[in-house]
Amino acid sequence: MHDHDDQNQDTYDSPVVDEHAHRNLGGAEEPLDAANQSLSDALISSFRILKGIMIVLMFLFVFSNVRSVDTSEQALQLRLGSLYDVHDPGLVWAMPYPIDEIVPMPTKKSNELLINSHSFNRHASERGMPLAVIARDATEGLDPVHDGALLTADAGLVHTQWKITYKIDDLRSFVSIVEGDNVETAESLIRSYIETVGVHVASELTAEEIIRTRLEYVRSEMKKRVNERLRAINSGIDVTQVEMYEPTPPLQVRSSFDNAQMAENRQRAVIAQAEQARVKILNESAGAAYAELIEALDRRENAKAEGRSLDDSQREIDRILNTLVEGSAGILLKEAGAQLSVLVGQIQSDVELYRTLLPEYESNPDLLIARLWEQTRGSIFKNPGVTKIYRPLGCQFRLTIPLDPKETQLAEERRLAVEKYDIGKLKGRRKSVLINTQ
């Protein structure tokens, strides 16, 4: 009995291992002590904070490439180094770097570029000095390494500086054609075109035209030709303005150039004055029709020189004189026409009177002559400008008619002029002066 009981007791006391203990995990667990419970709570809080930080970091990473593009710019979106998109001003979102990269470019604002390739090299002492006060000795030549210049059509040299205003108006074309994504690349391209186009434009003009007379043409032509070349390669660059600063001949010959220019300016001024006087005289003489009248006269001279008929040209001249010519010539023509009408009327009246008196003369000529003389004498005596003198029968008069006062004055002036230049009288005056001085 005891053995059986001992065996049973051993069986009862031995630990029982449940092979399916994992199935009871969902059952009630024994509570942890205070230390373990605090550790568990701390770990749970740490995991929650870490999760929040990871979410924030993920959010920041996703929106790390959000950029604001200024109104004066456009932005390039590069994906893995290649152009993906072009964005206008505003808020831009892209994939995080290094997947996407946002590169702002100043496309909406104007950029300025100063080019000195065609200017002379200033010495250290000449920097900052106005061009007018810089002088070089005539024996000092140009250094082709440092001194730039343009060769003109009249084999002259001109120094100048260029100020270029440009903008990038098509960013996609710019980054597709031009190597690089910065303004230095654009400026390098513009500089090369300005240097080349400047040589071509200068070769078509004289030094005087480039320096003084055709400045605006040079500016507009430079701008047009440079833009043509930029558009030809689809560069996306537009030159908005070209300014030329301080164009000058080489300083060694500037004084000679200025003297020649002053002489030409005086010549042009005299020619202009003569042309103004010519136009004034022609306007006063013939009015606005003088140009047409001169052309008609030239056509008549050409026809005469070639032996052709002058009828057509003469009719054209007569038409202009009678209908278009004004001024003093027009007044003379009108007065001549009026006087011609009066003379023709008088002649016609005389002819009618002759025809009327001819029968009377044929019948009794003495009576007609006596009657006409009485009429003529009466008309003479009635004229208020005639002085009447009564001479009794048998008396004689001697009338002294004085010279015209104007004629007397002219005669005295001629006499004095002759006496002034009379060699004999001059010698006599010189002798009398010598005697008096002795």
| Structure-token pair, residue 317 | 């001249």
Q: Return the pLDDT at 93.
A: 66
Q: Are residues 165 and 248 in the same domain?
A: yes
Q: How many domains does the chain have?
A: 3
| Residue 303 counted as domain residue | yes
φ, ψ dihedrals at 26, nearest 5°:
-75, -5
Do residue 117 and residue 217 come from a single domain?
yes
In a domain, 94, yes or no: yes
Residues 6+ apart with CB under 8 A from 399: none
Domain that holds residue 282: 277-325
CA dihedral 104, 107, 108, 109 (to 10 degrees): 100
Residue 307 lies in a domain: yes
Note the pLDDT of residue 135. Answer: 74
Tokens of 354: 């002759």
Q: How distant, in Å, are the alpha carbons of 9, 104, 412 from that of 171?
A: 95, 10, 94
DSSP 5-73: HHHHHHHHHSPPP-TTGGGGTTS--PPP-HHHHHHHHHHHHHHHHHHHHHHHHHHHHHTTTEEEE-TT-
Together in a domain, 157 and 205: yes
117 and 88 in a common domain? no
Domain match, 223 and 319 both? no
At 424 the pLDDT is 54
Within this chain, do residues 168 and 215 fall inside the same structural domain, yes or no? Answer: yes
Q: What is the mean pLDDT of each run of 10 residues along the chain (438 residues)?
A: 46 44 48 72 82 80 70 70 68 72 70 90 76 71 84 91 88 69 77 94 92 92 94 88 90 80 86 90 82 86 88 85 80 81 89 89 89 85 75 76 78 76 51 43
Domain membership of residue 9 (yes or no) is: no
- Is 137 within a domain? no
Domain at 150, CATH number:
3.30.479.30
Same domain for 184 and 80, yes or no, is no
Collapsing DSSP states into helix, strand and coil, what is residue 310? coil
**176 occurs within a structural domain:** yes
Distance CA 338, CA 343 (A): 9
Is the separation of the CB atoms in 160 and 112 below 8 Å? no
| Same domain flag for 229 and 298 | no
The residues pairing with 67 across neighbouring beta strands, listed in sequence order, are 92
Name the pTM for this structure: 0.48
Return the number of other C-beta atoms located less than 10 Å from residue 266's C-beta.
10
Question: What's the pLDDT score for residue 10?
Answer: 47
161 shares a domain with 250 = yes
229 and 155 within one domain: yes
Task: Answer whether residue 403 is part of any domain.
Answer: no
Question: Are 76 and 96 within one domain?
Answer: yes
- In this structure, the answer to whether residues 223 and 303 fall within a common structural domain is no
Q: Considering the domain boundaries, does residue 220 fall inside one?
A: yes
Cis? peptide before 98, omega within 30° of 0: yes
